Amino acid sequence: MEFSVDTSAGVRVGVAILPERIDAASCAELQAAAEGWLKQTANLVFDCSGLDFIDSSGLGVLVSTLRKTIEQDGDLKLACLGMKASMLMELTKAKRLFSIHPDAVSAIAAFHGGVRQ
Amino acid sequence: MNTGSVQTLIVLREEEHAWLQDLFRSRHPMLVTLCNKPFIEYLIDFAILSGSEALRIASDSPITDLENYCGNGSRWGITIDYAHILPEDDQERLLEKNRQFCSRGKTMLIEKTLFVAYDKKNDYRLWLRACPEGVAVSGTSGSITILGNKQENAIPGPIPGPSLPMLLTIGEYYRLADDTLKNADRYILPGYSSEPDCFLGRNVVIQKGAEIRKPVMIGNNVQISAGSIIGPGAIIGSNIIIDRESVVSGSILMDNTFIGEQLEVKGRIADGSLLIDPESGATLQMEDPHLMSVIQPGASTKQIIRRLIHALAALALLIVLALPFLVLRPLLGLRRNWHTKKRLFPPGATAKKLTIEQVVIRPEGADGRLAIALSIDRYPSLFKVLGGKLRLIGHRPAVSSDTTTISSGCIAMNPAVFGYAETEEWPENERDELMVDHYHLLHSGSLNDIGLLLKALLNKKHM
Amino acid sequence: MNIAESTINGIKVLSLEGVLNAASSPKFKAYLETADHSGPMIINLEQVEFIDSSGLGLLVRLARQKKSANEALKLAKMNDRVKRVFEITQAHSLFDIYDDIQAAAGN
């Protein structure tokens, strides 16, 4: 998973590009990677443009990562959420927990000031 | 010859309703429900309202499940029968093929139509009598043509006819369902209704604390758990469980769907484990059975007995062939005449797939020929019969191709070690084989299966 | 099984009667092989009580022969039982099926 730190918004924002599929088999990998990213910054953006399928265990990792960022006064924002992922997040009501942006740039910009919106 | 009787000829062509078939694979498009009523029933209703005594369904594709559902029509008090046409038949050919049926009087020919918007309060007998010969109603997706009508002039004034609403996308289906529920008094809809916008089926359990908001329609055998909110604008099919604290509004749940707890289904269509957004047409095949899944009816005793007999016969074969297998297998391996091929079955399906490993033995040398004669190539697969994953005899996926087009559910559900087609001499290609497989899958019982198995073992056409 | 031959509109009509299964299909096969049966043909299935997969195989072969010779083979007056076998086996897609012999003969 690609990860980079962007400082264009005046704060350190970690941008990760999610893989094509996050399910029970692959979510542990994301979980471990997210632990590492959180050590660098609590402001995260997950770019979901490549994400085609996510199941409830994958969703669980997103929600727990979100919780950890908030505990550290940061946030996890989602960018480029596809239709399928969006449908699952609406079904499980997880969508309303996240701030969702059309692309990574606007998600990064939303961190301006470092306040959770 | 023209006795004044009226009959309806419904023409179904597979390609016309392909969009619906693609979404709801498990049933014939005419059996997809709109407000818990299969499309075919709206057509039957309309045929009856317009005075038809007989109805024929002519199709270019298999309609076994439609036939099983409609039967001979006695349920509706109309005679229903079935005919076959070819995809390339034009209207003239079609009428020629059904000449005897059509020659009894006036014929109402319904083509490319899933749904007729009628109003049960109108007199469509009068309408039909006033219709001149030719196309009476045409919509973007279908038409009603009247044939053999000697126009009677005595009818004064315009008589309102039916209409054929646009129905070519899932979004249109969604809006039509909503519209039908709102105009429920025009139709004959299933369920008990004490108020015009609330329908309840049989055996509906609504637990304490669940809330039902109108307009709403609920089918048969439905369980709604505590804390759930159903409606407004919910069409709940039959055999449905909605677990606690879930919300279903502005949505359609097709038959046999389970909705897990604390979910929110808004503006969606759900069918088993498939979730559809009607506006964009996007679909999501759920892989979490605790969120959404198909409620499957349990296996019948007959099926269990059949499975048991298949397993016992497989065990017998495993014992009898153990020695030849142990001798021949290393020999064949050594001479590189033993090849295995893995494939997924059924091809193209999204849900449950089965990995099937097939063995091809090259018929070289005495060992190769003997191994084929003894069906040693099937030996490893026999273990899967014990576990119930494969049938002993049924449809054997062709070794040569991965492209079998499986159009019928019964074939897809019954992959086997030996094929029924192997009991016959005549099949020349895969299509012929499918024909035999289909025949026996529907005609054969447990005992027949054993007889056919012996026939397949002894029939060495494939050698 | 009985086979009766007649002609309508210059087209040969074979009317089958009885059971068309593994036991009786050799008779039909022999019948087809003994005489010259070229030209368009109609098979009247009205009196067929039962057809199984090998009987079906015979008709499929005949259809294939006729097709390669570019001659028409039409089936007529199928009763419900026979129709059902054609349907579940999806053999119907290989044949032109008429409910009336006259119509099949183009009258």
What is the number of domains present in chain B?
Answer: 3
- Enter the tokens of residue C6: 């007649």
Residue B442: both structure tokens together: 């529907």
The per-residue pLDDT for B347 is 64
Range of the domain at B40: 5-169
Query: How far B55 CA sits from the closest chain A CA (Å)?
Result: 42
Give residue for tokens 């084929």: B372
pLDDT in the model for residue B3: 52
Q: Give the model's pLDDT for residue A78.
A: 96
- To which H or E segment does residue C18 belong? strand C11-20
C-alpha of B223 from chain center: 25
pLDDT confidence of residue C1:
87
Using 50, 70 and 90 to split pLDDT, how confident is the model at B412? low
Q: Torsions phi, psi of B11, nearest 5?
A: -105, 125
Whether residues B330 and B260 share a domain: the answer is no
pLDDT level of residue B415 (50, 70, 90 thresholds) = confident
- Average pLDDT of the segment spanning B420-442: 87
User: Shortest CB distance from A92 goes to which of B263, B282, B287?
Assistant: B263
Spell out the residues 6+ positions from residue A73 whose beta carbon is closer than 8 angstroms to its own: A42, A116
Q: What is the pLDDT of residues A66-84, one digit of tens each?
A: 999 999 999 999 999 999 9
pLDDT for B352 equals 60
Q: Using omega within 30 degrees of 0 as the cis cutoff, is the peptide bond preceding B380 cis?
A: no
Taking the C-alpha atoms of residue A94 and residue C49, their distance in angstroms, rounded to an integer, is 62
HSE, CB side, 13 Å, CA atoms: give it for residue A19.
Answer: 13
Q: Please tell me if residue B279 touches chain A, with a CB cutoff of 8 Å.
A: no
Label each residue of chain B as H, E or C. CCCCEEEEEEEECHHHHHHHHHHCCCCCHHHCEECCEEHHHHHHHHHHHCCCCEEEEEECCCCHHHHHHHCCCCCCCCEEEEEECCCCCCHHHHHHHCHHHHCCEEEEEEECCCCCECCCCCCHHHHHHHCCCEEEEEECCEEEEEECCCCCCCCCCCCCCCECCCCCCHHHHHHHHHHHHHCHHHCCCCCEEEECCEEECCCEEECCCCEECCCEEECCCEEECCCCEECCCEEECCCEEECCCCEEECEEECCCEEECCCCEEECCEEECCEEECCCCCCEEECCCCCCEEECCCCCCHHHHHHHHHHHHHHHHHHHHCHHHHHHHHHHHHHCCCEEEEEEEECCCCCCCCEEEEEEEECCCHHHHHHHHHCCHHHHHHHHHHHCCCCEEEEECCCCCCCCCCCCCHHHHCCEEEEEHHHHCCCCCCHHHHHHHHHHHHHHCCHHHHHHHHHHHHHCHHHC
Q: CB A23 to CB B275 under 8 A?
A: no
pLDDT at residue B228 in the model = 97
- DSSP bridge pairs for C6: C13
- Asked if residue B318 and residue B287 are part of one domain, the reply reads no
* pLDDT category of residue B402 using cuts at 50, 70 and 90: low
Q: Mean pLDDT throughout B356-362?
A: 86
Q: For residue B183, what are the CA distances in angstroms to B200, B213, B215, C64?
A: 16, 17, 11, 52
CA atoms of A46 and B289, how far apart (whole Å): 26
Q: Which residues of B touch A88 (CB under 8 A)?
A: 275, 284, 286
- How far does B196 lie from chain A, in Å, by closest CA? 30
When pLDDT is averaged across residues B206-235 and rounded to a whole number, the result is 95
* Structure confidence at residue A92 (pLDDT): 94
Q: Is the pLDDT of residue B195 over 90?
A: no
Buried b (16+ CB within 10 A) or exposed e, B121-156: ebebeebbbbbeeeebbebebbebbbbbbeeeeeee
CB B99 within 8 A of CB C102: yes
Q: Read off the amino acid at residue B341.
A: K
Which positions 43-62 of C are in contact with B (Cβ < 8 Å)? Answer: 52-54, 56-58, 60-61
- Decide if pLDDT at B151 tops 80: no
> Is cis: bond before B215, omega within 30 of 0?
yes
Q: What is the pLDDT of residues C51-99, one digit of tens each?
A: 999 999 999 999 999 999 999 999 999 998 899 899 888 899 899 999 9
pLDDT of A104 above 50: yes
User: Hey, is the C-beta of B264 within 8 angstroms of any chain A C-beta?
Assistant: yes
Residues 6+ apart with CB under 8 A from B221: B201, B202, B203, B204, B238, B239, B240
| Closest residue to A87, CB basis, from B262, B275, B290 | B275
| pLDDT above 60: residue B154 | no
Beta strands in A1-117 (DSSP E): 2-6, 13-17, 21-22, 43-47, 53-54, 75-79, 99-101
- Is B35 within 8 Å of B189 (Cβ atoms)? yes
Q: Do B164 and B71 reside in the same domain of the chain?
A: yes
Cα-trace Rg, chain A? 13
Residues of A in contact with B273 (CB under 8 A): none
Q: What is the mean pLDDT of residues C15-28?
A: 92
Q: What is the residue-averaged pLDDT of chain B?
A: 89
Give B383-393 pLDDT, tens digit per residue: 999 988 889 99
Average pLDDT over chain C, rounded to whole?
A: 92
Q: Are residues B136 and B267 in the same domain?
A: no
User: Does B102 have pLDDT greater than 70?
Assistant: yes
Cβ within 8 Å, pair B438-C90: yes
* pLDDT value for A114: 47
- Assess whether B199 and B311 both reside in one domain: no
Chains B and A touching, counted as 3 or more CB pairs less than 8 Å apart: yes
Count of other CB atoms within 10 angstroms of residue A103: 13
B261: domain CATH number is: 2.160.10
Confidence of residue B155 (pLDDT cuts 50, 70, 90): low
pLDDT of residue B64: 85
Tokens of C51: 């057809």
> Percent of chain B having pLDDT more than 70?
91
Measure Cα distances from A14 to A22, A51, A100 in Å: 19, 18, 16
Measured CA to CA, the distance from residue B270 to residue B284 in angstroms comes to 10
Q: Which of B86, B424, B439 sits opposite C93 (nearest CB)?
A: B86
pLDDT bucket at B460, cuts 50 / 70 / 90: low
d(Cα A65, Cα A70) in Å, to the nearest integer? Answer: 9
Top CATH class of C2-104 equals alpha beta
Please indicate whether, in this complex, the C-beta atoms of A87 and B287 are within 8 angstroms of each other: no
> Tokens in use for B7?
């009959």
Torsion, CA B174, CA B175, CA B180, CA B181, rounded to 10: 80
Which of B33, B413, B422 minimizes the C-alpha distance to B235?
Answer: B33
Domain contains B181: no
Give C-chain residues touching B424 at CB under 8 angstroms: 53-54, 57
Position B196 scores a pLDDT of 86
In the block, tokens 């604290």 appear at B245
For chain C, domain boundaries = 2-104
Compute the average pLDDT of residues B225-246: 95
pLDDT per residue as tens digits for the range A85-100: 999 999 999 999 999 9
What three-state secondary structure class fits C11? strand
Return the pLDDT at B445.
Answer: 83
Cross-chain CB nearest to B84 (options C56, C58, C86): C86
**Segment holding C19, helix H or strand E:** strand C11-20
Instruction: Please state, in angstroms and as integers, the Cα–Cα distance from residue B57 to each residue in B12, B291, B350, following that order.
Output: 7, 39, 31
User: Is residue B61 located within the same domain as residue B139?
Assistant: yes
Give the CB-side neighbour count of residue C57, counting CA atoms within 13 A: 24
Phi, psi angle pair for B30, to nearest 5°: -70, -15
Q: How confident is the model at residue B71 (pLDDT cuts 50, 70, 90)?
A: very high
pLDDT band, very low/low/confident/very high, at B358 (cuts 50, 70, 90): confident
Distance (Å) from the alpha carbon of C58 to chain B's nearest alpha carbon: 8
pLDDT band at C38 (very low <50, low <70, confident <90, very high): confident
> Cβ of C87 and B439 within 8 Å?
no
Q: Which long-range contacts (CB under 8 A, 24 or more apart) does B220-224 make?
A: none
- Architecture label for domain A2-109: 2-Layer Sandwich (3.30)
In 3D, which of A62, A69, A65 has the Cα closest to residue A114? A69
pLDDT at residue B399 above 90? no
User: Rounded to 5 degrees, what are φ and ψ at A9?
Assistant: -90, 5
pLDDT exceeds cutoff 90 at C35: no
Residue B426 — pLDDT band, cuts 50, 70, 90? confident
Question: Looking at beta carbons, which residues of chain B come within 8 Å of C61?
Answer: 426
Q: Give the best-scoring range by mean pLDDT among A76-80, B410-414, B437-441.
A: A76-80
- Interval B295-336: pLDDT, tens: 877 777 888 888 899 999 999 999 999 999 999 999 888 888
Q: Is the pLDDT of residue B2 over 70?
A: no
Is A69 within 8 Å of A43 (Cβ atoms)? yes
Task: Give the one of B262, B284, B287 whose C-beta lies nearest to A87's C-beta.
Answer: B284
Q: Are B235 and B375 in the same domain?
A: no
pLDDT at residue B117 greater than cutoff 90: yes
Give percent of chain B above pLDDT 90.
60
Mean of the per-residue pLDDT values for chain A? 91
Distance (Å, whole) CA B117 – CA A22: 45
